[in-house]
Structure 1
């Protein structure tokens, strides 16, 4: 609906159903492109992410500071997560 309203303001005179059909057709194609998996052989690759200086507040209001290490193995997609209070 947002796309339809936007292009109507730009002068589009067609039907809403035409826009819905067009978007649904192209959305499915784009989703397939975005979710293509990159396969690797066993032991070849891992993705590592590091987030530091996080502040987490619990429901009672306690403040926790720390870091998160995350590694995803490329072949098996096994995820390893480690919460740390230091950077060593």
Structure 2
């Protein structure tokens, strides 16, 4: 009987943790870089007008049709990740 009781407790803890894991993964959003040379800390630099934050993935993709693309940070930024997938040219990120 003791084994069943422990197994039920583990199952209950696992089921309780599912919403927490789902909520944290739902926060991470891919945000595409707009096709411009605006500083990365500006809302105009991103599709949808939102600067990626610590839980978001900044994406350089086919949204960018002119290259090469050299962007400045403009301010300290903290992205959850970077993804460079088939932009029109090389991507360079500089401080400034």
What is the TM-score when the length of structure 2 is the normalising length? 0.28
Of structures 1 and 2, the larger Rg is shown by 1
**More relative contact order, 1 or 2 (CA 8 Å, 6+ apart):** 2
Larger strand share, 1 or 2:
1
